[in-house]
Amino acid sequence: MSDTMLQLPRITPSDYRGNEVDTCKLCLTEEATTNSHILSEFNYKGAYDSLHRILLVEPKKIYHPKIMQKGLREKNLLCLSCETKLSKWERYADAILNGSTRPEFANLSYQRIVDLKGMEYGLVRGADYAKFKLYLLTNLWRASVSTSSYFRFVRLGKHEELVRRMLLSGNPGDKDDYGCLMIAVVDKSQMFYDAIRQPDVIKVDGVPCFRFFIAGLFYFYFLPKTKAPEWVKFFFIDRTGNLRALRAKREYFKIFSDFLSNF
């Protein structure tokens, strides 16, 4: 080592902070500049109170929710270009879940079905598999890359990079790749529709999955190659564009009764 190098001033990590540039976590090339929401913002529509604040519900703190302006956002996560890319899928999903009647959605059909076992679900036919599936993946991936402790239970490990590539290339994968079971909960309590739950990991019929709850809708994400129960797979959006969301009363399923009992 030369003397010149030894004479260099010592630089501590804090000295770098002023010039540090965060790189977009999706494209890994552009500078991350946006103040991104972690969960799709449209999901908060029903969850905003009159002051446009949101109730963030954490386990065991249900009656003392944090109040946070503008939902859950994180700075320097994405570049503007990637933010725009993801928002297109979100707008598409928003239109579908809210039953848009705009002309471009005229090909969609909505049906409520009660099967022989009494299971009730909403069926949308004609959905764009890629757009809707990529929308589902954005929430899962953003929660995983978020540095917020609110999302600390959502850690995808090696799957984080795999999902990043899927989002970057617009590849929705197969039906069972990060398949998502959606359950719309039927309940009279308005507070229930005003809540967001901290995502966590639970088991459905012994199979682990990530559980999100956003304003009346549960999302259960299953990793590829974990053998999700067949009844669960039935609700994964498929390539023909069939999208099903189970409708259930709060007391119906053990997989969320622990949460709902707090209301």
The C-alpha atoms of residue 131 and residue 256 are separated, in whole angstroms, by: 27
33 touches Zn ion by CB under 5 A: no
- In angstroms, give the least distance from the CB of 79 to Zn ion: 3
- If binding is defined by CB under 5 A, does position 223 make contact with Zn ion? no
126 SS3 class: coil
Which one of 24-32, 184-192, 198-206, 240-248 is the stretch in contact with Zn ion (CB under 5 A)?
A: 24-32
Residue 154 makes contact with Zn ion by CB under 5 A: no
Nearer to Zn ion (CB atom), residue 24 or residue 163: 24
Pick left, alpha or beta for residue 196 (phi over 0 → left; psi -120 to 50 → alpha; otherwise beta).
beta
Q: Which SS3 state, helix, strand or coil, does residue 6 take?
A: helix
Q: CA geometry: angle at 172 spanning 243 and 147, to 5°?
A: 105
**Toward Zn ion, which CB reaches closer, 89 or 235?**
89
When asked if residue 24 is in the footprint of Zn ion (CB under 5 A), the reply is yes
- Comparison of 38 and 54: residue with beta carbon closer to Zn ion: 38
For Zn ion (CB under 5 A), the number of binding residues is 6
Between 167 and 214, CB nearer to Zn ion? 167
Would you say 99 and 218 are in contact if contact means Cβ atoms under 8 Å apart?
A: no
Residue 89 CB, nearest approach to Zn ion (Å): 15
Q: Which is nearer to Zn ion, 30 or 187 (CB)?
A: 30
CA atoms within 13 A on the CB side of 152: 4
Q: Please tell me whether residue 27 binds Zn ion under the rule CB under 5 A.
A: yes
* Interface with Zn ion, residue 260, by CB under 5 A: no
Residue 117: φ, ψ to 5°: -90, 5
Q: Find the binder of Zn ion among 26, 134, 183, 215 (CB under 5 A).
A: 26
Nearest CA to 74 out of 120, 143, 14 is that of 143
77: number of Cβ within 10 Å? 23
Instruction: Tell me if 30 contacts Zn ion by CB under 5 A.
Output: yes
As given in the structure block, the two tokens for residue 245 are: 């969301």
Q: What is the dihedral of CA 223, 227, 229, 231, to 10 degrees?
A: 70
Closest CB to Zn ion among 147 and 240?
147
- Give residues 72-131 in contact with Zn ion (rule: CB under 5 A): 79, 82
State the minimum distance, in angstroms, from the CB of residue 31 to Zn ion: 9
What residues make contact with Zn ion under the rule CB under 5 A?
A: 24, 26-27, 30, 79, 82
